[in-house]
Structure 1
Amino acid sequence: MIRWQDAYKVVEAMFPLYVALILGYGSVKWWKIFTPEQCGAINRLVCFFTLPIFTFEFTAHVDPFLWNLPFIGADVISKVIIVIVLAFWAKCSPKGSYCWSITSFSLCTLTNSLVVGVPLMKAMYGPMAVDLVVQSSVVQAIIWLTILLFVLEFRRTGLGVTSNASNGDQGKDLEEDVVNSSDRPSFWSLMKVVWLKLAMNPNSYAVYIGIIWALIANRWHLEMPSILEGSILIMSKAGTGTAMFSMGVFMAMQEKTIACGARLTVFGMVLRFIAGPAAMAIGAIAAGLHGDVLRVAIIQAALPQSITSFIFAKEYGLHAEVLSTA
C-alpha cells in the first residue's frame, strides 16, 4: 500500500514539470514574450540540443550487464503486437491511415518512464522497480524512439519530394496516403535521403553513443572524466524542463487548451490506458513474468505520454496537438 509520503514523492517529482509547462504557456498566451518564429526556435533547441544530450546522459549511466532480459522481452513483444495491429489496420481497413498509425503507436507504447515512472515505481515497489523502469526507458530510446524518428523522417522526406509535384491543396490531400503515391522517387533513393538526414540529427545516435559508453565503462570499470561529465550535465539537466516549456508554448499557440477536441482526447486515453497496458499484459505473460515484475511491467505501460514523442511530433508536423493533450 502506498503511504502519503510516497504519494507526495510522486507529486514532488511531477510538480516542477508543470511549473515549466505553465511558464511556457504564459510566456505566449498571457505575457506575449515570444513570436511564432521564436516558438519554433525553442522547439528546435529542445529537439537538437537539450533532448539528445539528456538521452545520452541517462543512457551512459546504466549497467546493461544487469538487465532483466525477460522484462525487456515482454516489452518488445507488446510493442511488436501493437505494430502488427496498426500495420494491418492501415493496410486493410478503408479508414486505415499510415500517419494515424504512427501517432497511435506513440500513444500506445511511448511512456514518460523516467520523470513519472521512477518516483511512482519507487514508492510502490522499491529500487527493483526503479531499475526495471530505467531499463524500459533505455530500450525505448534505443529501439522505439529511433524507429519513430526514422518513420517520421521517411514521411517528411516523401512529403517534401511529392509536394514539389503538387500545389498546396494537393499537398494537404497527399499527407495521409503519400506512401501509396505513384510519382515518388524509388524506395532506395528515398532511403538514401532519409539516412543522410538522420545522420545529421543528434537524436538518432545520442542513445547509441550512450549505450556503447555504458558497455565499455561497466566492462572495464571506467569513469567519465569530470570535465566531460560536467559539460554534459549542464545541458542534460535542462532537457526535461525545456521540453515541458516547449509543450506549454505549443499549447498556448492553439485556439483551445485541449487542442485536439474531446473525441480525439478520448481516443488517446483509450490507447494510452487500455490498449498499451493490455498489449504489455500479453507480452509479460508470454515472457513468463510473475509477481511484482509482472505488476511493474503493466503499470509502467500505463504511465503518461512520453515528452520526447511530442517534441518529435511538433518538429515533424504530425498530430502534435493530440500528443500534447495526452
Structure 2
Amino acid sequence: MIGWEDVYKVIVAVVPLYFALVLGYGSVRWWKIFTREQCDAINKLVCYFTLPLFAFDFTAHIDPFKMNFLFIGADTLSKLIIVAVIGLWAKCSSKGSSSWSITSFSLCTLTNSLVVGIPMVKPMYGALGVDLVVQGSVVQAIVWLTLLLFVLEFRRTGLEGTIRTTSNSLKPKASSISSVMMGEDEERKDLEVNRIGMDVILEDGSSKLPFFELMKRVWLKFIVNPNSYACVVGISWAFISNRWNLELPSMVDGCILIMSRAGTGTAMFSMGIFMALQEKVISCGPSLTLFGLVLKFIAGPAAMAISAIVVGLRGDVLRIAIIQAAIPQSITSFIFAKEYGLHADVLSTAVIFGMIVSLPILVAFYAILEFIH
C-alpha cells in the first residue's frame, strides 16, 4: 500500500513545476517584465527548441527491444476507441466540430507521463510502473503527439488557404480611378472575409484549397517543425545504440542535455505567462473546466480499462495501464494549443486543475484497483 511518505515524495516532485508556473505568471502580471510580443517569442522557444530536445533525450535512452507490446496495444486501442466516439459525436451532434474533436482527443488521451506520471507511479508500483509509464510516453511522443501536430498544422494551413481564397474571390474588380475611392470599403471587406474564413474552418474544418495543394503545404510546414521528427530520430538512435551497444559522444549528449533539462521548466513558465495574459486565471469557465476533468479522469481511464481487459492485461500491468491513463494533462498539448491557437485556455485549465486534483484522484484509483485481481 502507498504510505504518507510516498505521498510526500509525489508532492516534492510536483511542487517545482508550480514554482516555474508562478514565476511565469508573476513576470507578466506582477512585475511587468515581458510584453505580449515577447511572450509569443518565449512560447516559440519552448515549442521549437526545449521541448523537441527534451523529447529526443528521453526517447533516445530507452530500450525498444524490451517494450511490453500488450501494454502498448491496450494504449493504442483505447485511443482508437476515443477517436471513434469523438468522430460519432462530431458527425451526429449539432454541437460537434472538428476543432472540439481535436481538443477532446487531447483531453482524453494525452498525459504528462514523464514529469508527473513517474513520481506518482513509482511509489505505487516501483520499477515496473516506471518502465511502463516511460514506454507509454515514448509511444505518445512518437505517434500521438506527432499525429496531433500534423492535424493542427493541417487545420492551420487549411484556415490560411480558406482566408486567402475567399478574400481573393470577394475582392471587387475596380478601375484605376474607383480603386482610390473604394480603398476603405475594400479594407472593411477584407476584415469581414478574414472573419468569415475563420468561422468556416473552425466550424467544419473545410477548406477551399484543392486537397493535394493543402497536403503539400501541410507537409512542407510539418517537416521543418522539429517536434515532428525529434522522437523519430530519438527512437531510431535507441534501436541503433541498443543493437550495437553504442553511446552518444559526450559532447553531443551534453549539447542535448543543456536544453532538454530546461524543457519542463520552460513549458510550465510559458503556461504561467499564458495565464497572466488572460483576464481570468481560469479563463474557460466552470463548465468547460468540468468538461475537461471528466474527459481526463473518467473517459480516458474507462477507455483504457476496456482496452486493457480486451487485450488480456492482468495484475499490476492492468492497474498501471488504468493509472497512467488518469495522469494529468500533457504540458506539450497545451504548448501546441497555444502555438496553433486552438482552445489554449481549456488546455491550460486542464493542466492546472489536473495537477491540483490528480494526487487524491490517483491515490483513490490506486486503492480501488487493489481489489482487482
Q: If the TM-score is normalised by the length of the shorter chain, which range does it land in?
A: over 0.9
Q: How does 1:136-175 map to 2 (within 5 A)?
A: 136-164=136-164, 165-166=166-167, 167-175=193-201
> Letter of the aligned partner of 1:250 in structure 2?
F
Q: Corresponding residue for 2:101?
A: 101
- Displacement of 1:298 after TM fit? 0.3
CA distance in 2 between partners of 1:106 and 1:209 (Å) = 24
Q: Secondary structure at the match of 2:86?
A: helix
CA distance in 2 between partners of 1:317 and 1:76 (Å) = 27
Q: Secondary structure at the match of 1:96?
A: coil
| 1:316 partnered with 2:340 | yes
Q: Corresponding residue for 2:52?
A: 52
> Letter of the aligned partner of 1:174 in structure 2?
V
In structure 1, runs of 5+ residues without a counterpart are: none
Q: Corresponding residue for 1:30?
A: 30
Tell me if structure 1 keeps the 8 A contact 2:99–2:205: no
Tell me if structure 2 keeps the 8 A contact 1:20–1:241: yes
Tell me if structure 1 keeps the 8 A contact 2:20–2:268: yes
Normalising by structure 2, report the TM-score: 0.86
Tell me if structure 2 keeps the 8 A contact 1:158–1:178: no
CA distance in 1 between partners of 2:158 and 2:92 (Å) = 22
How many residues are treated as equivalent by the alignment?
A: 324
Q: Corresponding residue for 2:202?
A: 176
Q: Corresponding residue for 2:131?
A: 131
Q: Secondary structure at the match of 1:255?
A: coil
Runs of 4+ in 1 over 4 A off after TM superposition: none
- Displacement of 1:169 after TM fit? 2.5
Q: Corresponding residue for 1:77?
A: 77
- Displacement of 1:3 after TM fit? 1.6
Tell me if structure 2 keeps the 8 A contact 1:25–1:248: yes
- Displacement of 1:7 after TM fit? 1.1
CA distance in 2 between partners of 1:76 and 1:3 (Å) = 32
CA distance in 2 between partners of 1:56 and 1:174 (Å) = 37
Q: Corresponding residue for 1:236?
A: 260
Q: How does 1:230-269 map to 2 (within 5 A)?
A: 230-269=254-293
> Letter of the aligned partner of 1:175 in structure 2?
I
Tell me if structure 2 keeps the 8 A contact 1:53–1:235: yes
- Displacement of 1:178 after TM fit? 4.7
Tell me if structure 2 keeps the 8 A contact 1:273–1:302: yes
Tell me if structure 1 keeps the 8 A contact 2:156–2:340: yes
Normalising by structure 1, report the TM-score: 0.98
CA distance in 1 between partners of 2:3 and 2:286 (Å) = 34
Q: Secondary structure at the match of 1:289?
A: coil
Deviations 1:143-166 (A, max 9, x none): 100000000000000000111214
CA distance in 1 between partners of 2:4 and 2:204 (Å) = 52
> Letter of the aligned partner of 1:128 in structure 2?
L
CA distance in 2 between partners of 1:272 and 1:313 (Å) = 17
In structure 2, runs of 5+ residues without a counterpart are: 168-192, 351-373
Q: Corresponding residue for 1:306?
A: 330
Q: How does 1:291-302 map to 2 (within 5 A)?
A: 291-302=315-326
- Displacement of 1:19 after TM fit? 0.2
Q: Corresponding residue for 1:222?
A: 246
CA distance in 2 between partners of 1:120 and 1:194 (Å) = 38
> Letter of the aligned partner of 1:6 in structure 2?
D
- Displacement of 1:133 after TM fit? 0.1
Q: Secondary structure at the match of 1:176?
A: helix
Output the aligned Cα RMSD. Answer: 0.9
Q: Secondary structure at the match of 1:155?
A: helix
Tell me if structure 2 keeps the 8 A contact 1:43–1:311: yes
Larger Rg over CA atoms: 2
Q: Secondary structure at the match of 1:257?
A: coil
Shifted more, 158-167 versus 62-71: the winner is 158-167
Deviations 1:225-259 (A, max 9, x none): 10100010000000000000000000000010101
Shifted more, 85-94 versus 222-231: the winner is 85-94
CA distance in 1 between partners of 2:215 and 2:118 (Å) = 37
CA distance in 2 between partners of 1:156 and 1:38 (Å) = 22
Q: Secondary structure at the match of 1:318?
A: coil
Question: 1:204 aligned to 225, 228, 245, which one?
Answer: 228
